[in-house]
């Protein structure tokens, strides 16, 4: 089990890999608005937990376990966001902020139950696509899938 802070680093690394094809300490620090020494500490923590491979000044690569956990973290955010925005009708900006906070506090069991509820209420098929945090790709794909069924 890793800390919520480490989860945020892992998520950021996954997103950077999807966006840029590679993961660099400088890019992580910039995206998370933190120092390079903080990033390095997180990298070694994640490496010790078997979530990434890294040699000093080398490439940063997520392991399969690391990539799967990053996807899970992003999916949890999406599920909570969809629930807040589309089920509770909370404004998008507020839903984004709240989803970030809530995803850090809920258990896997709660996430699974919320996912089933959201998928059922919104008549959605699947949230499993390549997430792009800047383009909200998962939410757009979900809406397109939902629209095709109408």
Q: What is the pLDDT of residues 84-117, one digit of tens each?
A: 998 899 999 999 999 988 988 888 888 878 887 8
Least confident range from 11-15, 103-107, 130-134, 144-148: namely 130-134
CA 93 → CA 32, 64, 122, 132, distances in Å? 19, 32, 20, 17
Q: Where are the domains of the chain?
A: 4-62, 69-148
pLDDT of 106 = 86
pLDDT of 139 = 46
User: How much is the CA Rg of the chain, to the nearest whole Å?
Assistant: 16
pTM for this prediction: 0.73
Return the bridge partners of 60, or none.
54
Tokens of 36: 């390079």
* 51: pLDDT strictly greater than 70: yes
Instruction: Tell me the helices (H) and strands (E) count for the chain, helix number first.
Output: 7, 2
Task: Dump pLDDT digits (tens) for 5-19.
Answer: 899 999 999 999 999
Domain 4-62, classified CATH 3.40.50.700, yes or no? no
Return the bridge partners of 52, or none.
62
CB 16 within 8 A of CB 32: no
| Residue among 46, 48, 49 at smallest CA distance from 13 | 46
């Amino acid at each position: 089990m890793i800390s919520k802070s480490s989860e945020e680093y892992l998520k950021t690394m996954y997103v950077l890999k999807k966006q840029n094809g590679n993961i660099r300490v400088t890019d992580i620090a910039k995206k998370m608005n933190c120092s390079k020494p903080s990033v390095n500490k997180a990298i070694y923590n994640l490496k010790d937990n078997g979530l990434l491979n890294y040699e000093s000044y080398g490439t940063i690569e997520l392991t399969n376990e690391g990539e799967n956990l990053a996807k899970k973290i992003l999916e949890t955010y999406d599920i909570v966001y969809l629930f807040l925005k589309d089920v509770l009708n909370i404004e998008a900006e507020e839903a984004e902020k709240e989803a970030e906070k809530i995803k850090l506090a809920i258990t896997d069991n709660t996430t699974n139950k919320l996912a089933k509820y959201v998928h059922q209420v919104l008549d959605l098929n699947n949230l499993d696509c390549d997430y792009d945090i800047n383009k909200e790709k998962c939410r757009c794909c979900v809406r397109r899938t939902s629209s095709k069924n109408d």
